[in-house]
Structures are given as C-alpha cells and as structure tokens.
A and B are shown apart, each in its own frame.
Chain A
Amino acid sequence: MLIGYTLVGTNDMQRALAFYDALFSAVGIGRMIELPTLAGWGVSWEKPIFGIAIPADGQPASAGNGAMVALGQRTRDKVRLLHAKALEMGGTDHGPPGVRGQEGSNAFYAAYVRDLDGNKLCFYCVGPGDEDT
C-alpha cells in the first residue's frame, strides 16, 4: 500500500494551476494530469502525485486543520527554493527553512507554507547539510 495521490481543494482552479505550475517548475516538475476539476503534478506515474481539486460535492473548498502534505526534496537548497517561490507566488509563511531537531546525518530540514487556498505544505530534506554531501 502506497499513497497513489493526494488532493487538496481549491476554489479557483486557474489561480491554483498558476501557483503550482510556477512552484513545481522551479524544481523541474511538470503537470501530469489536467481535467476540468482536477490537476496533478509529479515526477512519474509510478510515484505519488500531488494534485488540486474542485470539491466533488459542489460546496466551497476548505483547508483541513491538522492536514498537511509533505514533499520530500533531495537537497536543502531545493527546500529553500520551494519555500521562497511559494511566498513569491503569494503563499503564506508557516515556518522558514531550517533544521527541526538536531543537526546530523538524519537531520530534518524543513519549511512550511500555505497555498492560496490555505492548504498546508511542508518541503523537507532528511540528511546532513548540502555542503556535507
């Protein structure tokens, strides 16, 4: 059992498309699916896809409190890049890039943002600092 895909809701598909296109293209990731009510980005069909959707019930989209999608990155540099890009695109800061916990070979380096619909995202990298690798 694996996460196949995870969707967050949006009330403005065009605005959300523009936000995530710009965000993910900063790390070379493109769109994999685009339907009228759903779009998804990912590295390949064999890997989990992150997507946005207009709610199936026709009610306004909302962000779940306690819900978060965490996107793993290979380097701390990419964590910083994504955090900066998300803010540049109008996302809100929920924790700047930095080590949470102890530095070391299994250090957790993360940054937190909310997208334009308020959905919480984490960008993170597990491992030693980039300069050590």
Chain B
Amino acid sequence: MNHGAIFVIARLTLREAFRRRLLWALVGLTLVLVVATGWLFGKASELSPLEGGTQQLVLSQLLVMIAFMFSFVLTMTAAFAASPAIGPEIENGLLLAVLARPVRRADVLLGRWLGLAVVVVGYALAAGYLEIGAVWLTTNYTPLDPLAAPIYLAGETLILLTLAIVFSTRIAPVASGAIAVVAFGLAWMGGVAGGVGNVLNNDTLRNAGFVAHLALPSDVLWGGAMYALEPPPAVLAAAGDQARIFTISPFFAGTTPPLEWLAWCAVWIVAALAIGVLLLRRREL
C-alpha cells in the first residue's frame, strides 16, 4: 500500500474541510453553545435548593444530556461529512484523474477516512473540553474523568464516520448519511434496552443490547462518556437513596466499558474499513 498517497489524500481532505464555510460555521455555533450552556449551568447551580452530592448528581445529569445532544451533532457532522466522500467523486469523474496516478483505491478510502477523522476527532475533543471547562468554571463541578469523556465521544464519532464512509462507496450521499444517523439512533436504543435488561434481569433485552453493541459499538463508547461525566463514586455514595433514582436513567452508566468492548470498537473500525476497501475495489468507475 502506498502510505504516501494515503497521507496526500488525508491532507487534501483536511485542506478541503478548512476551506469550507461549514466547518467554521460549526465551530462558531459550538462556541455559542458552550457559552450559553455555561451560563445555564451557572444559573441552575446558583438557584438550586439542592446541595452536596445531590446537586452534583443533578449537574452531572444535565451535563450528560448536553453531551448526548452534542454526540448527536457529532454524529450528524461525521455522517454528512463522510457520506459524499467517495461515491459522488466517482460519479463526477474527480477520482478518475486521481486513480490514474500510482494510487490504489484503498489509499483513497483510507486517506479520506484519516483526513475526516482528524477533523471530527479534533472538533469533538476541542468542543468537549471547552464544555467541561465552562461547566467547571460556572459550577465548580468536576466529573469523574474529565479527560476521558471527550475521548469517548470522539471514538463514538469515529465509529459513525467509518460507517458513513463505508456506505459512501456504494450508496448515494443523502441515503448514506441518513442510514448512518438512523443506525446511531438504533444502536443507542439497543444500548438502552440492554441497560433495562440488566436492571430487570431480562435476558431478551440484555441480548438485544449485546447484539446492538456488536453490530455498531458506538453506544459502548457513549456509555464510557456518560460514566466519565458522572460524579465520583464517593459523591454518589454520599447522596445515598437520592442517587438510586438516577441509576435507572438511560443517561446513567454504572461502570466504565470493559476493556474487551473497547478492543471490539477498534476491531470493528478496522473490519469496517476493510469492507469499505473491498466494496470500493469492486465498484466500476
């Protein structure tokens, strides 16, 4: 494989992203959102009659919900950035001139993926840390693992980006983006079903969650993000019975994702990219 070509295509993708207004519009909106939510958190904290561990629990749940919305924005961004990455460039002839060079189809797919991955992961990390920083500034709330939470979100985005880019080798951009977003929703619901199955000790629901995680492990990483944004266990313990109601919420994770599931996320990305390369190689130009 021509690693040089992968990096040339990745750089090209990055340059294209930075020249498009969409990325800068997204950055601007994110900054507005961070300022607005920071202010909201400050007000909520100031006016809340709650205190101690309970207040921290409420703040964590608010933060998790904002993170959930943010993860949806990230998913949409990844899906709609990646879905036109390959197919339209074949149809409009742009890739003909590129592939007539000493460049393999795999180089194009992996280069596009790498370039977009740098954009979405960079955006997820920057926006995630800004948000956590804004909440800390206005409320003094420090989640369990503030460094890990945006990394989990970035990983989740990477999975959706991979899915959309694989679809983009064969499916029209709008359909490809829409399928990726719907798949994200289904995976989340599968994760919620699995969580409910655990609480109710119901094997059917638990298995549904397991299958959903296998098929699209984005929810595994979302679970990691939620856990990282929750208060430390000592705070939860101090909150006592009041904490228990939160533990059955779909926005609560009792543990960090097991290592084997994190490994599965990495394997899933590699396998999906391999399938994408195979699909692209079999496509007629």
Q: Do A and B bind each other?
A: no
